[in-house]
Amino acid sequence: MGWYSANVVPRITNIACGSKRMSPMRERAASGLSGDVVEVGFGTGLNVPFYPSAVARVMAVEPSDVSKRLAATRVAASKVPIDFVGLDGARLPLGDESADYVLSTWTLCTIPEVEAALSEVKRVLRSGGEFHFVEHGRSPDEKVARAQDRWTPLNMRIAGGCHLNRPILELLNASGLEVTRIDRYYIKGPKQFGYMYEGIAAKV
């Protein structure tokens, strides 16, 4: 990881992903969580205010030391215990069936080994457990998708490896998780940057 990715990208992400328009999406993703929760891509703790009181603890996975420092105030204020347990979503240092829920918000776009990360999500979930997510990804509109393909190489360099064109629903279906709720929509702004996948996938 270069200096820019290590020091600048987390600060940009904290501002860009901390906008008020994202709060309702974060709140919906966190709704219904309880018990032991793994948050993959904890970042700067922007989901912390939305953890339900039924959550017993959060096991946070985050590779960036800068993000962890930026998260410190939110972590300290959290009513839910938060423990940092790993650095890589594709290699979770957790036992099989050790979590009731896994939460991910705008994270699958950046994990290099995204298929391995989803396999890990399935592995650590208990039977009947759920993966709650909000992600951006490939648009079904071919014109927009072609623009995403063109922009992705540059976006990866600027935004810490962020892909604009990952087919999130296809990846979830291939993971063996069962998608039980999915909403897909554009948010305001250039379409190639704002096609969202929001929903729940269960381990059955």
Instruction: Give me the pLDDT at residue 2, please.
Output: 83
| 184 beta partners | 197
pLDDT one-digit tens code per residue, 94-119: 999 999 999 999 999 999 999 999 99
Count of the separate structural domains present in the chain: 1
CA 48 to chain centroid: 13
pLDDT at 24 over 90: yes
* Six-digit token string for 21: 């328009």
Radius of gyration of the CA atoms of the chain, in A: 16
pLDDT one-digit tens code per residue, 123-165: 999 999 999 999 999 999 999 999 999 999 999 999 999 999 9
Looking at residue 119, the DSSP 8-state letter turns out to be: H
- Give the residue numbers spanning the domain of 104: 3-202
* Six-digit token string for 90: 């594709």
For residue 62, name the pLDDT band (cuts at 50, 70, 90).
Answer: very high
pLDDT at 1 over 80: no
Cβ-proximal residues to 173 (8 Å cutoff; 6+ apart), any chain: 179
Average pLDDT value for residue range 164-189: 98
For residue 5, name the pLDDT band (cuts at 50, 70, 90).
Answer: confident
Q: 108: domain CATH number? A: 3.40.50.150
Contact call for residues 122 and 115 (beta carbons, < 8 A): no
Instruction: Give me the pLDDT at residue 36, please.
Output: 98
Rounded to 10 deg, the angle between the 168-175 and 114-124 helix axes is 50
Cβ-proximal residues to 160 (8 Å cutoff; 6+ apart), any chain: 5, 9, 10, 13, 110
Rounded to 10 deg, the angle between the 65-77 and 9-16 helix axes is 40
pLDDT at 66 over 70: yes
Question: What whole-number distance in Å separates Cα of residue 13 and Cα of residue 159?
Answer: 8
Average pLDDT value for residue range 81-87: 96
Beta pairing class for 125-136 and 195-202:
antiparallel
Which residue reads 């990360």 in tokens?
Answer: 117
Task: For Cα atoms 115, 75, 137, give the angle at the middle one, nearest 5 degrees.
Answer: 30
